[in-house]
Amino acid sequence: MTTLAHPTVPRQHLPAVLASVVAVGLAVSAWGAKDPTTWFLETVWVLVGLPIVVLTRRRFPLTNLLCCLLAAHALVLAVGGHYTYAEVPLGDWVRDTFGLDRNPYDRFGHLMQGFVPAVLVRELLSRTSPLRGSRWLAPLTVCACLAFSAVFEMLEWLSAVVGGQAADAFLATQGDVWDTQWDMFCALIGATVSVLVLSRVHDRQLAALDGDGRQVQ
């Protein structure tokens, strides 16, 4: 069975390895973060989600594909939290190299906000509802990701109302009046591409789960 596991890492150990990498990444990103409040707001999803995944790993283990994607997304959030999205050095390099008007790391983050949750939503729906194999699974997955993106934008709006200018680093609008619309559009594109590209691989890994939810070797 094809997985994203490195050949030297046994597949059953991959989630634990990834959880350790994420924990270390969080700790490193917190050390010397430009704005501790922004770091917390950007990484709170990881701070909440990582313990949940670890505590439910035996009762509801996730596919290795989803574990890899969640770990990658967590590191993207950690980097954005450390520097603030508008000032990530790699984004500055891309902006200067390609003559862009803004640091694009925020756009990348919102693409990931659709790409990774699409597999998470798809896995939850496939394993807990009658939608597995249904033609409705793909559109409902994309709709759920777009709805989450909309809720996230409302949370950003709330932070701006409460925090005023202090929330600018979290918002990362960089002067773009259409930033909210762009963020949601990026999430939509990310979710759509994820469903189109990863569904077959995901289905194979879902099929490899036995009745107890353990991944078959």
- Per-residue pLDDT tens for 122-158? 999 999 999 998 999 999 999 999 999 999 888 877 7
**Among 119-123, 159-163, 212-216, which range has the highest average pLDDT?**
119-123
N- to C-terminal Cα distance for the chain?
8
Q: What is the pLDDT of residues 175-194, one digit of tens each?
A: 567 788 899 999 999 999 99
CA distances for 190 relative to 4, 33, 47, 142, 184, angstroms: 19, 27, 23, 9, 10
pLDDT for the residue 205: 94
Q: What is the rounded average pLDDT of the residues 104-127?
A: 96
Q: What is the rounded average pLDDT of the residues 102-114?
A: 94
Residue from 59, 56, 31, 54 nearest 43 by CA: 31
Q: What is the mean pLDDT of the chain?
A: 87
Q: What is the pLDDT of residues 1-49, one digit of tens each?
A: 444 544 445 567 899 999 999 999 999 999 999 989 889 988 999 999 9
**Tokens representing residue 120 in the block:** 């998470």
Q: What residues does 1 pair with on adjacent strands?
A: none
- Output the pTM of the full model: 0.85
